């Protein structure tokens, strides 16, 4: 997936993506976070800018608080 460095990705985008990865790979929430962080940020929180990284962190916080019934 090609992402534009100039655009800010939303919290909703990351919530959906985290859920997709977790369901598709049948992995834990922590593993889904690592997969998304690696795939989109290449292990560099500055790669897509501070606003997008903050949206990612906010999404993961919300994602980790959701019921395990996903």
Non-local (6+) Cβ contacts of 24 within 8 A are none
Q: Which residue has the tokens 């997709």?
A: 20
Residue 70: per-residue pLDDT: 46
pLDDT at residue 25, rounded to an integer:
96
Q: What is the pLDDT of residues 5-53, one digit of tens each?
A: 557 899 999 999 999 999 999 999 999 999 999 999 999 999 988 999 9
pLDDT given for residue 5 in this prediction: 57
Name the strand (E) or helix (H) holding 37.
helix 29-41
Residue 46 neighbours by CB distance under 10 Å: 9
Nearest-angstrom CA–CA distance, 40 and 9: 11
Domain boundaries defined on the chain: 11-62
Instruction: Please check whether residue 13 is in contact with residue 32, taking contact to mean a CB–CB distance below 8 angstroms.
Output: no
């Amino acid at each position: 997936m090609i992402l534009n460095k100039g655009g800010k990705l939303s919290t909703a985008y990351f919530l959906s993506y985290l859920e997709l990865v977790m369901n598709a790979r049948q992995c834990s929430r922590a593993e889904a976070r690592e997969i998304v962080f690696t795939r989109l940020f290449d292990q560099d929180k500055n790669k897509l800018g501070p606003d997008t990284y903050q949206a990612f962190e906010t999404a993961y916080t919300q994602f980790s608080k959701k019921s395990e019934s996903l």
